[in-house]
Structure 1
Amino acid sequence: MLNAFGASVRLALLCAMRRRADMLAPLAFFVMVASLFPMGVGTDPDLLRKMAPGVIWVAALLASMLALHRMFEADRADGTLEQLMLAPEPPVVAVAGKIAAHWLTSGLPLALVAPLLALQYGLDVPSLGVVVASLLLGTPVLSLVGAIGAALALGTRGGSVLVALMLMPLYIPVLILGAGAVSACMAGIGFKAQLLLLAGLCCCAVALAPWAVTAALKLALE
């Protein structure tokens, strides 16, 4: 199973590298949104610091949704999904590998770039660390839950809009916890509770989401 998981991740990463424009679109969107806000609201340092957690997390959430509707579309078009369901290995292993590759090409770059963008808002070093930690815990949840929406909307018209409508209510807890952790650190109060809750959500999503995505893909192929 580990070999099948690794092969699925490598294949998905190879396909993503061949579509670099699609891979870089979420990162470019994240950078533009997070960079434009300071220009639009002015240079008041107190205002920028107050806005920073919400702006960074909202930008990351929206950026992660850009490529979700295309996560399985190419595989459905070329027949890869049908072969995946007929493979001797459990389909959930390959699905988990594809979700992991999606996070590596979308969520992880956002977490790595976020500290540089947060400097525009005047965040201190501890707050920058919490920004990275919250994104490293929260973006996997966005990819895992987003994969469920992408699988459910597979083959439908206006799939991107449908995915956004389905996922937005599910993303709100992640947004509140992620931004809340950064705000708590900036206020000098405890932020570990928010990070622990994000970690719990991440563990639940890792355990359950691949199975739900596999079931949704089987329904889409029937």
Structure 2
Amino acid sequence: MIALLIRDLKLALRAGGGFGLALAFFLIVVTLVPFGVGPDPELLSKIAPGILWLGALLACLLSLDRIFALDWEDGSLDLLATSPLPLEGVAAIKSFGHWLTTGLPLILAAPLFGVLMNLPATGFIPLILSLTLGTPALSVIGTFGAALTVGLKRGGLLLSLLVLPLYVPTLIFGAQVAQRGAEGLSITSPLLMLAGITCGTIALLPFAAAAVLKANLR
């Protein structure tokens, strides 16, 4: 499993779908928002949590189609399906690799982008906490969507349409944690909901992704 994770990390960086692309997209979103809504510091401070979470979510979408596509193209996916490693483990490792190359860099860069969006000082820790809890769910859900569309030509658009509705609960509660934290309110309720969503996706979706992969490989 460790060898598979290392291989996926190397492929992600070599294929251009690693942290650089996600961070660049995240930066573009944060930079363009003031041009669209105006440079009012109070307005930017108010919408910063939602914009930062939306930018992170969209950045995660960029590399989802690469999770299984490269393995499908070179035949590695067939070898993985017949290896002693169960497909559930393969899906879990793929999700973890995607989070390491996409979600983790976004978490580390979020404070800097928060400064650009005039995020209140009280909102930085809730923002980082919400992204730390929420981005693993984005990667696991994305892995399930990638398993559904593996082997399809031009499946990137279909993948986005399938995954975006599943992302909505994570987006709502993640943004609520950051928003309430920035306003100095209690974040316990949305934080627990976000943690529950993440734990539920990690527990269930690797098995669903494995079942879909088995069906697609027949």
In 1, distance between residues paired with 2:117 and 2:12? Answer: 32
- Contact kept, 8 Å, 1:82 with 1:221, in 2: the verdict is yes
Unpaired stretches in structure 1, ≥5 consecutive residues: none
Equivalent position amino acid for 1:130 in 2 = P
2:201 match: 205
Q: Is 1:177 aligned to residue 173 of structure 2?
A: yes
Provide the C-alpha distance between the structure 2 equivalents of 1:111 and 1:75, rounded to a whole number of angstroms: 27
Out of 87, 111, 126, the residue aligned to residue 130 of structure 1 is 126
Choose which of 84, 91, 97 in structure 1 pairs with 2:93. 97
> For 1:69, which of 65, 68, 77 is the aligned residue?
65
1:123-162, aligned counterparts within 5 Å?
A: 123-162=119-158
Deviation at 1:124, TM superposition (A): 2.7
Question: 1:46-84 deviations in whole A, cap 9, x for unaligned?
Answer: 101111011111111111001111210110111111111
The amino acid that maps onto 1:80 is S
- Look up the match of 2:48: 52
Q: Give per-residue Cα distances to partners, 1:144-186, cap 9 Å, x unaligned.
A: 0111111101112331111111111111111111111111112
Question: Structure 2: how far apart are the matches of 1:142 and 1:74?
Answer: 20
Superposed CA RMSD in Å reads 1.3
One-letter code aligned to 1:22: G
- In structure 2, stretches of 5+ residues that fail to align are none
How far apart are residue 131 of structure 1 and its match? 0.8
| Kept after mapping to 1: 8 A contact 2:126/2:182 | no
Equivalent residue letter for 2:17: D
Distance between the aligned counterparts of 1:52 and 1:64, measured in 2? 18
When the two structures are superposed, what TM-score results if normalisation uses the length of structure 2? 0.95
The yes-or-no answer on 1:190 pairing with 2:186 is yes
| Percent identity of paired positions between Structure 1 and Structure 2 | 43
**Alignment-derived partner of residue 22 in structure 1:** 17
1:38/1:120 contact within 8 Å kept: no
Q: TM-score, normalised by structure 1?
A: 0.93
Aligned length: 217
